Structure 1
C-alpha cells in the first residue's frame, strides 16, 4: 500500500498528464510479459508483439536487457521512467542519456540489492552503454507500442476526460475519488494499491501528476525516489477504445450521417465526439433520456461509441471506428 499525503497546497497542484508517457508505456508493457495476470486483456497484443519481436531479432534483447531492467517487482530504476511524457519518446530517451552516472550507479545498486540486476547493468553509468540501451528501447517501442498508438491515446483521453469531469463536478475530491478500485481517496491521503510494502509519500506542496497508462494492469506505480517530482502511473479505463475529438471534423457532419444512421443517432454520435452523458445526448438530439439511452446502446453495440460509468452518470465517447465514421462524413460533407 502506498499512502500519498496531501497538504492544502498539493490539492491545488494535482494534474492529469496531457498525453501518454511513452516511457511508462514501455515499462508497463514489459511487465505484461512477466505475468499471466490480465493476459486476457492484452491477448492479441501479446501474441502479435511476440512474433514481431522475434521477426525483428529483438527477442534476445527482450530477455537479456529489457526484462531484467524492468522487473515486475517492488522496484525498477527511476531513471528509466522519470523523463517527460508530453514531449514524446525522444524527450524521454534524452532524459535517460542525460541522467548522471552517480544516479544510475545508485539506482542499479538498489535494483541489484532488492530484486537482482544483471552484471552488465553496472556499465550503464557509461554514456555509450546508455546509448545502446536507448537504441534497444526505441526499437522495442517501434515494435510493441507505436503500432497501437491510436488505441493507447483513445483510452488515455477517455480516462482523462472522466478525471476532468470529476474535477468540474466535485473538485479535487471528484478528481481523486473516481480514479477506480486501485485508489481510495480519504482526504488528505490517497491510498494506492502498490507492489511494494507499506510506503508513505509526502508531497510537501509539490502536487501530484496522474499518468493514465494503457499497459498498467490493476496495480499503479510511482517513482521510488521521494525527492523526484511526484508521479502516479495508474491503469486507464478498460473497455472499447475512445479516441479524442478530431479537430478536422466539419461543422455539421450529421447531414451525410443522417441517411445512414438516422438524424437522432447521427446527433448522438457527434455529441460523443466531445464526450457526453446520456442526458447531454438527450438535450443535443432533442429526445427523452430513455430514448437517448436506447440510441447510445445501438451505437455502442455497433462499435461506434464506448460507455463508462462515473458516479451517477454514464459518459459516452467515440471508439476509433466511430471517429473514422465522423471523419468520413466530414470529408464527404466538405466535398
Structure 2
C-alpha cells in the first residue's frame, strides 16, 4: 500500500497515544486468536482463565476470521443507533460487539492505565523526534515496515494499492496489541473521521508482566481508567442527562463537564446525541458493565 501525502496532509498530521480501549481490545482479540506473538502466550492463558464461560463466544468470533478493520466498523455501526438496519444484520452486529466488549472488560480494561501509560510514552518519543528533526524524520522512523519515499509512505505486507489523502491529513497511533500485524490502516477512524494508521509499539517485559497481574478492585480499576471525577461522571450518567445536567450533578463547571464527557465518549463509555445546542449523554453497554463490574453477554437470536 502506498499512502500519498500533499503539503496539506503533512501539516495536518496528528498523533494520539491510542484509539481507545475498544480499539485496543479489537487488536488484542485478533492477537488472542492468532499463533503469532509468542511472548503473549502467558497473557493468552491468563485471559482464557478470566473469560470463564465467555471464552466460547470469543472462540466463535475468532473462528469467523473477521479482520480488525471489520470488527471496528461493526462496533461503530452498533453504537450508531440512528441508522436503521435489517434485523438479521442488527443481531449479528450486536453479537459481535457484545463479544468484543466482553473481551475488553477482561483483557484490557483492568490494565488500561498501564497500557495507556506505555502507549503515551511511545507517543511522546515520536513527538520528540518530530520536534527535533521534523515530520519527515518521524515518517522515516515510524516503523521498520514503513518506508518514507517523499511524498509517499510505502507500507509493506499489505494489498498493492494507492491511498490518496487529498488534504484530509492522517491520524497516527501506536498499539500494544497489534503485534504480528505491524500496522493497520483505517480509511476513516470513527471518532475523528480522519484516515488513521496504527503501528505496533515495542512490547517490554515490564508491560507483559503487568498484563498478567491480578486486577485491582472494580472501583480502583474504574478510577485508574478514567480518573475519579470521570468515574463519578459515569455514576451520574446511570440516568441520561445533558451536559448542563452533568455539570449540576457533579458540581463542576459546564466546560469541565463537557471535557469529561468528551473523554468518556472517546473511550466508548458513553454516547452523545445532539439536538441543536443540546447534547444528551447516555452510558454505552461498555460503560454500564464497567460501572457495575458485570460481564458482557452476547445477545441470543430471537426466535419466532
TM-score range, shorter chain: 0.5 to 0.7
Deviation sequence 1:252-280 (CA, Å, 0-9, x none): xxxxxxxxxxxxxxxxxxxxxxxxxxxxx
Tell whether 2:55 aligns with 1:59.
Answer: yes
Change (3 A) 1:5 1:99: farther
Partner in structure 2 of residue 3 of structure 1: 2
Question: How far is the alpha carbon of 1:93 from its aligned partner?
Answer: 6.4
Deviation at 1:144, TM superposition (A): 1.2
Distance in 1 (CA, whole Å) between partners of 2:103 and 2:71 is 18
Aligned to 2:185: 222
2:136 counterpart residue number: 173
- SS of residue matched to 1:33: helix
Q: Contact (CA 8 Å) 2:16, 2:171: kept in 1 or not?
A: yes
Counterpart residue number, 2:166: 204
Larger Rg: 1
Q: CA deviation at 1:139?
A: 1.6
Residue from 147, 153, 167 that aligns with 2:116: 153
Q: Determine the structure 2 residue equivalent to 1:185.
A: 148
Q: Return the offset for 1:179.
A: 1.1
Taking structure 1 as reference, are residues 156 and 99 closer, same or farther at Cα in structure 2, changes over 3 Å only?
Answer: farther
User: 1:275 is matched with which residue?
Assistant: none
Query: Any idea what SS the aligned residue of 1:175 has?
Result: helix
SS in 1 for 2:79: helix
Contact 1:20–1:152 under 8 Å retained in 2: no
Q: Secondary structure at the match of 1:180?
A: coil
Deviation at 1:52? 1.3
Measure the CA separation in 2 of the matches of 1:165 and 1:67.
Answer: 41
- Runs of 5+ unmatched residues, structure 1: 84-91, 106-121, 244-335
Task: Tell me by how many angstroms 1:172 deviates.
Answer: 0.8
Q: Secondary structure at the match of 1:212?
A: strand
Q: Distance in 2 between matches of 1:11 and 1:134?
A: 34
Distance apart, 1:235 and its partner CA: 0.4
Aligned partner of 1:44 in structure 2 is 42
CA RMSD of aligned residues (A): 3.2
> Match for 2:127 among 164, 174, 192?
164
Q: Residue 199 of structure 2 aligns with which residue?
A: 234
- Maintained 8 Å contact 1:151/1:241: no
Change in 2 beyond 3 A, CA 1:151/1:80? farther
The equivalent of 1:27 in structure 2 is 26
Shift, 1:67, TM fit: 4.9
Q: Deviations over 1:279-322 (max 9, x none)?
A: xxxxxxxxxxxxxxxxxxxxxxxxxxxxxxxxxxxxxxxxxxxx
Contact 1:216/1:234 (<8 A) preserved: yes
1:134-186 Cα distance to aligned partner (Å, 9 max, x none):
33322211111112213311221121011100110112112222212121212
With CA pairs under 8 Å and 6+ residues apart, which has the higher RCO, 1 or 2?
2
Q: Corresponding residue for 1:135?
A: 98
1:213 aligns with 2:166: no
| CA distance 1:67–1:161, change in 2 (3 Å) | farther
Cα separation, 2, equivalents of 1:13 and 1:241? 34
Q: Distance in 1 between matches of 2:205 and 2:124?
A: 15
Contact 1:214-1:236 within 8 A present in 2 as well:
yes
Q: 2:183–2:200: 8 Å Cα contact kept in structure 1?
A: yes
Take 1:49 and 1:36, find their aligned partners in 2: how far apart are those partners?
15
Count matched residues: 206
TM-score normalised by the chain length of structure 1: 0.54
What 5-or-longer segments of structure 2 have no aligned partner? 211-304
